[in-house]
Copies of this chain bind each other. A is one copy, B any other.
């Protein structure tokens, strides 16, 4: 008998019919003889309504009160889910984050989980019942309700699975797994049966919006196998787990794309120590995340310095850097928020320089100009003009033969 944590997102709980359907998923797992802990998000749409009211009453709603407000969303779904399970004759019991308790720090709206009490959930499990836990929320040391930020319910599910030493954590969503790339762009994208935590982190952070990155990091750290599967369809979904001998040895697992960034270039910077710090430090101080950073070796004692930031912060950063550029005696400040980052990801590429080469060749064949390049152990990312997103993704999917099973693909030298 295994212990499974099942997490249902807002689109899987958008109305009572869907809640009833999700409850059937829980019962099916029980009927396979497994113990289940259920984690739920707020009903789809509910959060937006609450935020709208808050913004009508306060120009910048205070974080503590926002958490108090938004936490009602999951409190509604836990009780409704517990009712649906009890109606089917199962001893279900709902828990808010505070009732579990999921202890967090006191950084409202983006709290971090510090510790989870197992006792209350264990009592229900030992009595043959099904605990239904509110995702996304916890309790601060002073008893205030906290929330974990965007996608926090995934993190709750994985953290609970780790705390309870569950055998698997199932994330039910409206897609049936992780694909070799966005199926809306490439029709013959393949669903992956397995993927490693590292690959999933790259794919998640690069724009494959299946699973929240903090949840995957948590899963990797505590070695919790996570399965992404569809609430409404059939199939086993995609298992995210540690690299194993038995895994299919794909050189490249998938192609990710991200259109949420903007590129900023400082041209003609004097090539001396402290420049990168002056620029990135100013951006970091404004709490803006910097993603890719590239500095080319300069000629005549000058260099160009390019980095990417979230697109929403583009204008603010450009304005903020104007005086900084004067200070460091740069020649010009340019940028674009019409870019896309395209990435090839795979643990198999660790020892294969050929991957980057095949990537550049495929893009070149399609006339796609590469503006920036960044690499890590298991990925190669390029920045291109946003108009090339679909073209680039399709060309790379084809170049790496991701539509084919692994053993039918060409070998890269």
Contact = CB atoms under 8 A, between A and B. Distances in A.
B16 A57 contact: yes
Contacts of A275: none
Interface string A279-308: 000000000000000000000000000000
B94 A65 contact: yes
For this chain, the copies found in one complex come to 2
A80 B76 CA distance: 17
Interface of A: 16, 19-20, 50, 53-54, 56-59, 61-62, 64-66, 68-69, 71-72, 75-76, 78-80, 82-84, 86-87, 93-94, 96, 98-99, 120, 143-145
Nearest to A62: B86
User: Main SS of the interface on chain A?
Assistant: helix
B75 A75 contact: yes
Choose among A19, A61, A68, A84 the residue with the greatest number of B CB atoms under 10 Å from its CB. Answer: A68
Nearest to A49: B76
Given A54-B79, A69-B83, 10 more contacts: A19-B57, A20-B57, A58-B84, A58-B86, A59-B87, A65-B94, A68-B79, A71-B75, A72-B72, A72-B75
25 contacts: A16-B56, A19-B57, A54-B83, A57-B83, A57-B84, A58-B83, A58-B87, A59-B87, A61-B83, A62-B83, A62-B86, A64-B93, A65-B79, A65-B82, A68-B75, A68-B78, A68-B79, A68-B82, A68-B94, A68-B96, A69-B75, A69-B76, A71-B75, A72-B76, A99-B143
Contacts of A94: 65, 68
A19 to B, nearest CB: 6
Contacts of A75: 68-69, 71-72, 75
Contacts of A80: 53-54, 57, 65, 69
Contacts of A53: 16, 76, 80
Contacts of A19: 57
Contacts of A64: 93
Nearest to A144: B99
